[in-house]
Amino acid sequence: MLTGKQKRYLRSMAHHLTPIFQVGKGGVNENMVKQIQEALEVRELIKVSILQNNMDDKHAVAEDLATGAGAEMVQLIGHTVVLYKESKENKTIVLP
């Protein structure tokens, strides 16, 4: 689990990122979760946007993404989810 201080730090790092995945009306599927896991291994911190045509509850979608990818949900702001997972090979982010 991340502390409040760590989440604040990650939020500031994620501010300039652009979402690299979009959850549409198909919702969260295995293929998407697999791609998100791979992206997290490379980048550690990513943004995912939930499109307007997705009828699921955005909190449930964010939770599904985080659990499926084995990541921490740093923030859900509007329709954008920020996810963090410490990389095994490409560790670049040092948490406070």
Task: Give 30's DSSP letter.
Answer: H
Q: What single-letter amino acid sits at 9? A: Y
Task: Give 26's DSSP letter.
Answer: T
pTM of the predicted model as reported, rounded to 2 decimal places: 0.92
Residue 58, judged by CB atoms within 10 A of its CB (0-12, 13-18, 19+), counts as: middle
49: phi then psi, degrees, rounded to nearest 5? -100, 140
Q: For domain 4-84, is the CATH number 3.30.110.60? A: yes
Q: What single-letter amino acid sits at 60? A: A
Residue 65, judged by CB atoms within 10 A of its CB (0-12, 13-18, 19+), counts as: buried
**pLDDT tens per residue across span 47-81:** 999 999 999 999 999 999 999 999 999 999 999 99
**pLDDT tens per residue across span 25-54:** 999 999 999 999 999 999 999 999 999 999
Q: What DSSP element (H or E) covers 12?
A: helix 4-14
Please report, for the chain, the start and end positions of each structural domain, with discontinuous segments joined by +: 4-84
